[in-house]
Amino acid sequence: MIQIKNLSKLYQTKKQKVQAVDNVSLNIEPGEIFGVIGYSGAGKSTFVRLINRLEEPSDGSVVIHDKDITKMPSHQLRKKRQKIGMIFQHFNLLWSRTVFDNIAFPLEIAGVSKAKRKEKVLELIHLVGLSGKEYAYPSQLSGGQKQRVGIARALANDPEVLLCDEATSALDPETTDDILDLLVSINKKLGLTIILITHEMHVIQKICHRVAVMENGKVVENGEVLNVFVRPQSKTTKRFVQQLNPLEHEKDKLYNFINDREDSEVVKLHFIGNHARRALISEIAKKFDVEINILQGSIAPTQEGAYGTLFVEINGEKAVLTNTIQYIQDSGVEVEVLKHA
């Protein structure tokens, strides 16, 4: 487990003090993919660099597998960092070295023999899908291939933790999904704990088990991704959720499609987990004497299951409408009434 307690970073300039990270406490479980999301200036990149002490914390502690990183002397920290891999937004490759030599570099520093280096590098090249590119230079690679080299290099010393600082921000959407699929595969094959920093909710949705939302150096919300998506509490989280369902905040426009009859209710349905696969609308139409007008909807998969949102107008007698909504709620689907009959 990674235990982060009261972690803070204060920058002192000639003119002002800047609290980049402010009293952050989190527990990250072994083998999980933990996301940290925030807008520019939220403090998330500083936060991830505090975990391996690329930045020195002003206060607080980071404990990885019962070892307090923040109290380690330099010689112990250098050794511990070999077990904390890191990948970056702009790859940070050595441009004069081939793919093979870039991946071998941390092994050279660690004093691994040439024969073992070769065996390990070839294994990693196969793992990240770069077979045939061993002797290519970074300038000959696509952005996605460069990031695969960065991932392989970060895995060279068999780390306990992999830190990803905006690892997909420089990539196009299709390549981003490929890299995210690779991280999920690595997480499952190696049981590797991954801490992923991003400003893209799609990244969190696709691969993370839990997420912390940062704003002004603080964690304003954290929990399981599915729960945070369905029940966002902070304004910042709600803005991120809108990235996945941009029509969510345009409810007023729905009324352009409503019949506006006195015998109608407009409801928002939340489908979570297995309920997202259920043919509930079909069930209702067969069971109750109502007319259903589907206004809009969306469904999104997460690591913990799918969740969907559906806006519908239901027309019928008031007593029937009441029974219909009760049936929906009893089915395990959350209901928010937007317009009463």
Q: How confident is the model at residue 275 (pLDDT cuts 50, 70, 90)?
A: low
Helix (H, G, I), strand (E, B) or coil at 302: strand
Q: How confident is the model at residue 245, as a pLDDT?
A: 66
CA distances from 222 to 225, 232, 237, 238, 304 (A): 8, 10, 10, 13, 15
Which has more pLDDT, 297 or 24? 24
315-339 tens-digit pLDDT: 888 889 989 989 988 888 888 887 6
The one-letter code for the residue type at 56 is: E
* Closest by Cα among 190, 114, 207 to 152: 190
Average pLDDT of the segment spanning 2-16: 91
Q: Please report the pLDDT score of residue 338 as a whole number.
A: 78
d(CA 7, CA 61): 6
The Cβ of residue 158 has, within 10 Å, a number of other Cβ atoms equal to: 11
User: Tokens in use for 139?
Assistant: 């300038």
> Percentage of residues in the chain with pLDDT exceeding 70?
92
> Could you read off the pLDDT of 139-196 as tens digits, one per residue?
999 999 999 999 999 999 999 999 999 999 888 989 999 999 999 999 999 999 999 9
Whether residue 162 contacts residue 182, with contact meaning beta carbons closer than 8 Å, is answered with no
Q: CB under 8 Å to 325, separation ≥6 — which residues?
A: 265, 267, 314, 335, 337
CATH topology of domain 2-244: Rossmann fold (3.40.50)
Strands 67-68, 218-224: pairing kind: unpaired
User: How far is 108 from 104, CA to CA, in rounded Å?
Assistant: 6
Largest CA distance in the chain: 80
Helix axes 99-109, 143-154, angle to 10 degrees: 20
- The yes-or-no verdict on residue 230 having pLDDT over 90 is no
Sequence-ordered list of residues with C-beta below 8 angstroms from that of 36, at least 6 positions apart, any chain: 44, 47, 48, 195, 196, 197, 198, 211, 212, 214
| pLDDT for residue 260 | 60
C-alpha dihedral, 239 to 243 to 246 to 250, nearest 10°: 0
Task: Name beta bridge partners: 59.
Answer: 8
* pLDDT attached to residue 332: 82
Q: Which two three-digit tokens encode residue 323?
A: 């029974």
| CA atoms 213, 29, 47, 164: torsion sign | negative
The pLDDT of residue 253 is above 80: no
Domain ranges of the chain: 2-244, 247-339
| Interatomic CA distance for residues 32 and 193, integer angstroms | 5
Mean predicted lDDT score pLDDT of the chain: 88
Q: What class is the 247-339 domain?
A: alpha beta
Question: What whole-number percentage of the chain has pLDDT above 90?
Answer: 56
**Predicted structure pTM score:** 0.84
Integer Cα distance of 197 and 168 in angstroms: 10
pLDDT surpassing 60 at residue 251: no
Give the list of residues 6+ apart from residue 243 with CB closer than 8 angstroms, or none. 200, 201, 202
Please write down the long-range contacts of 217-223, taking CB distance under 8 Å and 24 or more positions apart: 217/9, 217/19, 217/20, 217/21, 217/22, 217/24, 217/42, 217/43, 218/22, 218/23, 218/24, 218/43, 219/24, 219/25, 219/26, 222/26
